[in-house]
Chains A and B, each alone.
Chain A
Amino acid sequence: MNLESVTIALHGIIANKLRSMLTMLGILIGVASVIVLVAVGSGSAAASRTRLEALGSNTITVRAGGLGFGNRGGTQSRSIRIEDADVPAILDKNEAPSVARVAPIVDATAVAASYNGASTTPQTFQGTNDVLFTVRHYEIASGSKFTQEDLDAHAKVAVVGLTVAKNLLGEDANAADLIGESVKFGNSNLTVIGILKPKGTNGTNDQDNIVLAPLTTVRDLISGGGSAITQLVVQANSRKAMSTAQAEVTAILQSRHTGATTNSFLVQNNSSLLETQDANNKTFTVLLGAVAAISLLVGGIGVMNIMLVTVTERTREIGIRKAIGARRSDILGQFLTEAVLVSVLGGLLGVAGGLIGSRFKIVNVQPVVEPYSVFLAFGVAVVVGLFFGIYPANRAAQLRPIDALRYE
C-alpha cells in the first residue's frame, strides 16, 4: 500500500461522500460501542469492587458461632466465645505468618444517641481498637481517631459517621461542629473527637450510619464489663495470602477452644466475595463486548456491500485502467486500500466517539475506558475492512479488460 494507491482510494471515497460516510458510520458505531460498552462493564466492576473493598481489603471476618449473618451452612456444633486472649494468639507471627493485623469488635445494639434535643439510633455502634481504621479503610474527615492510649485510659471518646452527625446536627449543618461536643450514648456521655469520611452505601447498608468508640469504653459504659468480642477483623498480608491466613486463624481458634470444630465460628472471607463479583463482572463485560462486536461485524458487512456496489459501478473505469496497463495487483490494491481506508477512518472516528461517550455516566456507572478495548476495536475494524474488502477487490481484479470496457 503506497502513497499513490492511498491517493487513488481517497479519490474514490470522496467521489461518493454520502455513501462513504454512511459506510464509515457503520464502522464508527461498532468501534465506539465496543469501547463504551467495555468501559461501562469495567466501570461497573470498578464500582462494585470499591464498594466491597470499603468493607476492608484482604480481610477475614471471624464471628462467634451463631451470631451475625452469613451462615455458611452445615450443622453448628458448640459455639465458642471469642476471648481477648485470642487476639495476641492470632497475631503470633510463628503461628500465623500470613496475618498482618487483627481488630477485635464488640457490637453494641440499639444504642440511642442524643445531643441538644436531637436523637438518633446509629445502625452500627462498635467498640474496637485503632487497627480497625486501617483494615476497614476508615478515614478521618475532620478531628482525629482514637488511639491505643485512649483504649488503655478507657477514654470517653467516640468517632462518628457523617449520617450520625447529620442526624444530630441537622441536614445542613457542618459535621465538624460536632467535634469536641459531648453526645449522650445510651446512659453515658462521650466526647466526639472525629468525623469519618463518608463511604456511602454498600448496596444494602448506609456505611456512614456508624459510631466507633474504644473497645474498653464500650465495655465499661454501655455493654457492661466483660462483654465478649463479637467479631474479629483479620487482615492478611496480601490477597493471595487470604486463604492461608484463614486456615491459620481457624487452626489457632480450634486449638485454643476445647471442643471447637470448624463450625464453632463463622469465618467470612472477603476475597471469595470479591472473586464472585469479579467473575460476574467479567461475564457482564464480555457480554457487552460481544454485543458491540456484532455491531462491528455488521459494519464490516456494510463495507463489503458498498464495495461490491462500487466495483460494479466502476467496472468501466476498471476496464480503462486495465487497458492502459494496470495489473491485477494494482486493481486489487486500489479497491482493498479503499475498503481499509473507509474502515480506518470510521475506526478513528469511532475511537474518538467512544472516548467522548465514555466521559458520560451511563445508567449510573462512570465508564472506565480499557486501553485494550480501544486497540482491539480499532484493530478489528481494520481487519474487518481488509477481510470484507478482499472479495469485492478480487472481483474487480479478475475482470477481463475487454468485458470491463464493454460494460455499460
Chain B
Amino acid sequence: MTKLTLEATVGAPPNAARVIELRNVSKVYGMGDVQVHALHNVSLGIERGDFVAIMGASGSGKSTLMNIIGCLDAPTRGGYRLDGVDVSELSDSELADRRNRGIGFVFQSFNLIPRTTALANVELPLLYGGLKRAERRRRALAALAAVGLTDRVHHHPSELSGGQQQRVAIARAIVTNPAIVLADEPTGALDSASTNEVLAIFSQLNATGRTIVVITHEPEVAAVAKRVIRLRDGVILDDSRHSPADGPPPMLAGRAS
C-alpha cells in the first residue's frame, strides 16, 4: 500500500511513463460562503498500461476527478499533465483533439446519440477526427466487431439492450485508438451478466496495452483492476496495487491459472 503524499510528487520531474499526472489538484464549486471542495490537493500518477479503479461514495469527488482527467472540466488549482502535456496550456480546440484521439469515454448512461445507428455512433469520433468515409466505416466496423456487435451495427440505441448499448459506447471509446479509456460507473446500469461482459472487454483492452481508469462503487468492478484508489471527501484515502501495471489484468490472469 503506497500512500501518495504531497512530498512524494511535488518537485518531481514529469514522468514519461505516467500517462496521467495530477499535482495538488483542487476543485472548488460555488463562491464565497457556499464553497464546496470537491477535490482537495489530490496528487495522482497513473502509468501507461495500468488498470485503475477509483472508488468512493457519492460525493467523494470521484466524478469530478474523472471529469478533470477527461479534460471535460478544469481544476481550480493544481496542475494536470496528460501524456506529458500540461492541459491548462491547451486551447479549446486542442482539448477537443485530446478528447477525440487521446481519451475514450464510457458513461454510466451510455450517452449514445439517439435515433442514430450503432455504426454512425461509433463513426462519430472519427468524423470529428477528420477521417474519410471509407476509413471511418472500416474502423467503426472493426471496433464493433471487437465488442461482439457485428450483427447489430444498423440498430438504433433504442433497439439495443443496456449491455449492448454499453458495448456500442465502448466501441465508440476505442475506435480512435486512444491511450486511455475513462469509464464512469460503466456497469452501474447493467445486470450482472452484462457487467461481466463489459469487465471482460475492459480486461482485454487492458491486455493490449491500453490504460483503463474506471470510476465505480462496486467491489466486483474494483476486483478486476490492477490498482484501486479510494476517495473520500475529496482526498485520496487509500491507494493499493493488486497486480503490476505492466502485467496481465487480474481477470485474464485468473482465467489463465
Residue of B73, B97, B112 with highest tally of chain A CB at under 10 A: B73
Give the residues in chain B near A405, CB-CB below 8 Å.
72, 107, 111
Q: B62 at interface (Cβ–Cβ under 8 A)?
A: no
Q: Is the CB of A325 within 8 A of B176?
A: yes
Q: Which residue of B lies closest to A405 (CB)?
A: B72
Q: B163 at interface (Cβ–Cβ under 8 A)?
A: no
* Chain A: interface size category: 20 to 34
Q: How far is the CB of B88 from chain A (nearest CB, A)?
A: 15
Stretch of A164-172, A327-335, A349-357 contacting B (4+ beta carbons < 8 Å): A327-335
Give the residues in chain A near B129, CB-CB below 8 Å.
325
Q: Is the CB of A11 within 8 A of B116?
A: yes
Q: Is the CB of B99 within 8 A of A402?
A: no
Stretch of B16-24, B120-128, B141-149, B219-227 contacting A (4+ beta carbons < 8 Å): B120-128
A150 CA / B140 CA spacing, docked (Å): 94
Q: Is the CB of B115 within 8 A of A11?
A: yes
Q: Is the CB of A402 within 8 A of B67?
A: yes
Q: A111 at interface (Cβ–Cβ under 8 A)?
A: no
Q: Mark B75-118, 1 if CB is under 8 A from A, else 0.
A: 00000000000000000110011011100010100011111100
Q: Mark B193-232, 1 if CB is under 8 A from A, else 0.
A: 0000000000000000000000000000000000000000
A327 CA / B96 CA spacing, docked (Å): 5
* Chain B: interface size category: 20 to 34
Find residues 122-145 in chain A having any chain B CB closer than 8 Å to their own CB: none
Q: A323 is contacted by which of B70, B93, B97, B116 (Cβ under 8 Å)?
A: B70
Q: Is the CB of B125 within 8 A of A324?
A: yes
Q: B172 at interface (Cβ–Cβ under 8 A)?
A: yes
Q: A155 at interface (Cβ–Cβ under 8 A)?
A: no
Q: How far is the CB of B149 from chain A (nearest CB, A)?
A: 18
Give the residues in chain B near A327, CB-CB below 8 Å.
92-93, 96-97, 128
Task: Using known A-B contacts A11-B116, A317-B113, A328-B93, determine if residue A323 contacts B127 with beta carbons closer than 8 Å.
Answer: no
Q: How far is the CB of A19 from chain B (nearest CB, A)?
A: 14
Give the residues in chain B near A324, CB-CB below 8 Å.
99-100, 105, 124-125, 128, 172
Give the residues in chain B near A321, CB-CB below 8 Å.
113, 124, 128
Q: Is the CB of A322 within 8 A of B99?
A: yes
Q: Is the CB of A323 within 8 A of B124?
A: no
Q: Which residue of A lies closest to B110 (CB)?
A: A320
Q: How far is the CB of B136 from chain A (nearest CB, A)?
A: 10
Q: Is the CB of A323 within 8 A of B113?
A: no
Q: B115 is contacted by which of A15, A326, A328 (Cβ under 8 Å)?
A: A15
Q: A401 at interface (Cβ–Cβ under 8 A)?
A: yes
A389 CA / B127 CA spacing, docked (Å): 23
Q: How far is the CB of A215 from chain B (nearest CB, A)?
A: 84
Find residues 1-16 in chain A having any chain B CB closer than 8 Å to their own CB: 4, 11, 15
A127 CA / B172 CA spacing, docked (Å): 94
A319 CA / B112 CA spacing, docked (Å): 11
Give the residues in chain B near A326, CB-CB below 8 Å.
96, 100, 128
A75 CA / B177 CA spacing, docked (Å): 98
Q: Which residue of B lies closest to A8 (CB)?
A: B127
Q: Is the CB of A325 within 8 A of B96?
A: yes
Find residues 300-331 in chain A having any chain B CB closer than 8 Å to their own CB: 316-317, 319-330
Give the residues in chain A near B70, CB-CB below 8 Å.
323
Q: How far is the CB of A18 from chain B (nearest CB, A)?
A: 15
A274 CA / B83 CA spacing, docked (Å): 80
A4 CA / B112 CA spacing, docked (Å): 18
Find residues 391-408 in chain A having any chain B CB closer than 8 Å to their own CB: 400-402, 405
Give the residues in chain B near A320, CB-CB below 8 Å.
111-113
Q: How far is the CB of B148 from chain A (nearest CB, A)?
A: 21
A4 CA / B130 CA spacing, docked (Å): 10
Give the residues in chain A near B107, CB-CB below 8 Å.
405
Q: Which residue of B lies closest to A398 (CB)?
A: B92
A320 CA / B114 CA spacing, docked (Å): 11
Q: Is the CB of A323 within 8 A of B72?
A: yes
Q: Which residue of A lies closest to B73 (CB)?
A: A402
Q: Is the CB of B105 within 8 A of A323?
A: yes
Q: How far is the CB of A328 from chain B (nearest CB, A)?
A: 6
Give the residues in chain A near B105, CB-CB below 8 Å.
323-324
Give the residues in chain B near A400, CB-CB below 8 Å.
73
Q: Is the CB of B111 within 8 A of A328?
A: no
Task: Using known A-B contacts A402-B67, A402-B73, determine if residue A325 contacts B116 with beta carbons closer than 8 Å.
Answer: no
Q: How far is the CB of A8 from chain B (nearest CB, A)?
A: 8
Q: How far is the CB of A120 from chain B (nearest CB, A)?
A: 78
Give the residues in chain A near B114, CB-CB below 8 Å.
317
- B residues with a Cβ closer than 8 A to A are 67, 70, 72-73, 92-93, 96-97, 99-101, 105, 107, 111-116, 124-125, 127-129, 172, 176
29 inter-chain pairs at a CB distance below 8 angstroms, sorted by A residue, are A4-B127, A11-B115, A316-B111, A317-B113, A317-B114, A320-B111, A321-B113, A322-B72, A323-B70, A323-B72, A323-B105, A324-B100, A324-B105, A324-B124, A325-B99, A325-B101, A325-B125, A325-B128, A325-B176, A327-B92, A327-B93, A327-B97, A327-B128, A328-B92, A330-B96, A401-B72, A401-B99, A402-B67, A402-B72
What 4 A-B pairs have minimum CB-CB distances, sorted nearest first?
A325-B100, A327-B96, A325-B128, A402-B73
Given contacts A325-B101, A327-B97, 9 further A-B contacts (CB under 8 A): A317-B114, A320-B112, A321-B124, A322-B72, A325-B97, A325-B100, A325-B125, A402-B67, A405-B72
